[in-house]
Structure 1
Amino acid sequence: MKKDMAYFVVILIQLIYTGMFLLSKAAFDVGMSTCIFVFYRQAAGALILVPFAYIMEGKDSPPLTFLTFCKIFGLSLLGITTSLNIHGIALKYTSASLAAAASNCLPAVTFFMACLMRFESVKLHTSSGIAKITGIVICLGGAATMAFFKGPELRLLLHHHLLSSHAQLNVASSSSSSTWVKGVFLMLLSISCWGVWIVLQASVLKSYPSKLSFTALQCLLSSMQSFVVAIVLEREGSQWKLGWNIKLLAVAYCGFVVTGFTFYMQTWVIERKGPVFLGLSTPLAFIFTTVFAALLIGEIISLGSVIGGIFLIGGLYFVLWGKSKEEEIFDHKGCSNVNITVR
């Protein structure tokens, strides 16, 4: 029963991320400011993580030096504030299914960034090295396919959507190809910031190993940074008001459920099954999001998005296979170089 629980949890995690993509897109479609959304989301997450971190690690956490604080501040600015704000704009320009598909290239982007920053090396004469390079190339091909090839539209045999207003907005906004291409590249830029953030966390965690406090502090700092960004970019006072509507639901869901609880669920899975097992479940979010986006908000699915998503999933599995082969080698040597951090 405990073995089966891990499979249930990873499916639940991907369903939660599916809800995040759909609700975020729905909130942006009705006019919510992306920067205000990021601020509210991070503030809601901080309300959960900061008190919990203080209760769990308050007495045991190591002292926070000024240098370490500056590093955490920089990480929060790059990997959360900047990444989420760019991601919000990209999601506004594209679709929920594309955002879910693009998340599959995160391992490839992270590995590529680690190589550029000399945190990791590529051994081209090994099967694992070849697999990783192949995965990066396939992911780039998938991103290019999604950006430049739309192809025919794939419509479900469903004429009445649960959120008909969002369906009409999706139909109206699907015509601008230049906006779509811009959104794809912004999505890749967001994931690149996220990849650099993951790579740089390893060195900071060595000086401040309290993962829960580390995560809570980043969430708190990013909410402050996002507030400044929102104040500068959004001057319309009405944008800050949250009524009993899809905007409030999206903020509460992404802040409390995604930021607050998914972190622990992912950590639980990683501790029991390893990071590769969690990574292998990532394509489920793309499948779930594509289906529910078409059913609930009438999102138009193009053949190019489907083909590009398949390429991204293929690239993901190549990179994960290469990583798993490396882990086997390190396990035989009695050591490990795997650092896992979840946003």
Structure 2
Amino acid sequence: MGDQIRLSKQLNLFFDKAKPYLAMVSLQFGYAGMYIICMVAFRRGMSHWVLVVYRHAVATIVVSPFAFFVERKIRPKLTFRTFLKIVALGLLEPVLDQNLYYVGMKTTSATFASAFVNILPAITFIMAIIFSLEKVNLKKIPSLAKVIGTAITVGGAMLMTLYKGPIVNILWYTHGGNQRTSSGSSDQQHWVTGIITLISCVFGWSGFFIVQSMTLKEYPAELSLTALVCLMGMIESGIVALIFERNMDAWAIGFDSRFLAAAYSGVVCSGIAYYVQSVVNKVRGPVFVTAFSPLSMVITAVLGAIVLAEQIHLGSLIGALIIVIGLYSVIWGKSKDLSASNAEFEKGKAHQLEEFGKNTSDLGRDIESNGISKIPQKKFSSEQP
């Protein structure tokens, strides 16, 4: 019986430690699915301006009831300062990141855009250091592991997208004659504009995780924060869409791939993703959250080969292996930082208990040497007040 209880405690401890990793890996599967569904919708003429609006409208409708009932007793008061941060969150990710990515992809190329945005972990790591959300001491091995792991992850993502190599048939069947070719080169006059757009996209996405981490310290209600960010994202992206999308027919969608793209991306990649990212961000920080983002490329490559009949190249396999190595390095460094933080907390707690015991012993010696009368006494009255 004792062994079973001990085993149960060990399993519970293991799952508690594994939850952030499982959550972030699961999200990458969700993003990979969104990529495939949205690509089908875009091929059928859906406007990305409209998609962003509908995506966050769906997310707001789905998340708001849960946020209202689940967190009604723990939801803190929404101050004006917190509200401004929520407005900034709605602008950074729903409006800037999602729209600018598609604009940058159209003005450069799909390959270049997908390679460029994988510098997200590195940009987030640098911004976290600037805003004192991440501590780095290059004399310590965990910090070196985070720096080197981030560089390796970005390098693997760049290799995976920029180098193809020969086709590798790793599946049990072989696709024939259905290989996608990227419309690689854009007009030279749009290339600089595309690069600037993609830079803004990455900084917007990184800034979202930084501001999210700061906001959670003032407003630690993850579901309510998610609902508010989706609501602001819907309003702000709606204003932007009305400015840039003048064709009113683009807003009409039926029960087709366009509706599926809005529903799936809204529920999975906005509602669930924002909530899960906020929970993990609160515990592990923005660097841990973004370290997993290049993993979606690996999943997308496999799903693309199965669902969209895309062929897998040697560069994709090598890049995937490098990404896994880099992720392991970052995660190992973050786990060591967490262990060191817990050790310092326990050490400080033990020191406080030691000081308390020392003060208690000194008080006992004073009582023994000077007598109880020398100790200040509170006067009690037998009369009731």
| TMscore range, shorter length | 0.7 to 0.9
Residues 192 and 324 of structure 1, relative CA distance in 2, 3 Å threshold: farther
Residues 160 and 141 of structure 1, relative CA distance in 2, 3 Å threshold: closer
Counterpart-to-counterpart distance in 1, 2:80 and 2:278:
28
2:245 to 224, 234, 237: 234
2:174 to 136, 143, 158: 158
Identify the residue that residue 79 of structure 2 maps to in structure 1: 65
Q: Give 1:283 shift.
A: 6.9
Matched, 1:131 2:145: yes
Counterpart-to-counterpart distance in 2, 1:201 and 1:272:
12
Question: Which amino acid is the alignment partner of residue 218 of structure 1?
Answer: V
70-79 or 39-48, which deviates more: 70-79
Q: Give 1:151 shift.
A: 3.5
Matched, 1:255 2:266: yes
Identify the residue that residue 56 of structure 1 maps to in structure 2: 70
Unaligned runs of 5+ in 2: 1-10, 347-385
Q: Give 1:285 shift.
A: 4.1
Q: Give 1:121 shift.
A: 3.3
Question: Which amino acid is the alignment partner of residue 77 of structure 2?
Answer: P
2:32 to 2, 10, 18: 18
Structure 2 SS opposite 1:334: helix
Counterpart-to-counterpart distance in 2, 1:89 and 1:68:
30
Q: Give 1:266 shift.
A: 6.8
Counterpart-to-counterpart distance in 2, 1:104 and 1:324:
23
234-243 or 261-270, which deviates more: 261-270
Partner deviation per Cα, 1:232-272 (whole Å, 9 max, x = no partner): 11112222111222111111111123333455667889999
- Structure with bigger gyration radius: 2
Q: Summarize the alignment of residues 74-93 of structure 1 with structure 2, pairs less than 5 Å apart.
A: 74-89=88-103, 93=109
Counterpart-to-counterpart distance in 2, 1:200 and 1:9:
21
Identify the residue that residue 184 of structure 2 maps to in structure 1: 176
Residues 250 and 191 of structure 1, relative CA distance in 2, 3 Å threshold: same
Counterpart-to-counterpart distance in 2, 1:185 and 1:304:
27
Partner deviation per Cα, 1:99-151 (whole Å, 9 max, x = no partner): 6x988765444222212334333211110121122123223423443554344
Residues 130 and 12 of structure 1, relative CA distance in 2, 3 Å threshold: closer
Q: Summarize the alignment of residues 89-104 of structure 1 with structure 2, pairs less than 5 Å apart.
A: 89=103, 93-94=109-110
Matched, 1:117 2:131: yes
* Percent identity (aligned): 37
- CA-based RMSD of the aligned residues comes to 4.0
Counterpart-to-counterpart distance in 1, 2:240 and 2:199:
21
237-246 or 12-21, which deviates more: 12-21
Question: Which amino acid is the alignment partner of residue 63 of structure 2?
Answer: L
Residues 277 and 310 of structure 1, relative CA distance in 2, 3 Å threshold: same
Matched, 1:315 2:331: no
Question: Which amino acid is the alignment partner of residue 86 of structure 1?
Answer: L
Partner deviation per Cα, 1:296-328 (whole Å, 9 max, x = no partner): 223354444443444333322222211111111
Counterpart-to-counterpart distance in 2, 1:316 and 1:44:
32
Identify the residue that residue 373 of structure 2 maps to in structure 1: none
Structure 2 SS opposite 1:24: helix
Structure 2 SS opposite 1:291: helix
Counterpart-to-counterpart distance in 2, 1:137 and 1:9:
23
10-19 or 68-77, which deviates more: 10-19
TM-score, normalised by the number of residues in structure 2: 0.69
Residues 246 and 113 of structure 1, relative CA distance in 2, 3 Å threshold: same
Contact 1:266 1:278 in 2 (8 A): yes
Matched, 1:218 2:234: no
Matched, 1:37 2:45: no
TM-score, normalised by the number of residues in structure 1: 0.76
Question: Which amino acid is the alignment partner of residue 325 of structure 1?
Answer: K
229-238 or 292-301, which deviates more: 292-301
Question: Which amino acid is the alignment partner of residue 231 of structure 2?
Answer: L
132-141 or 321-330, which deviates more: 132-141
- Aligned residue-pair number: 323
Counterpart-to-counterpart distance in 2, 1:44 and 1:29:
22
Residues 87 and 280 of structure 1, relative CA distance in 2, 3 Å threshold: closer
Matched, 1:327 2:341: no
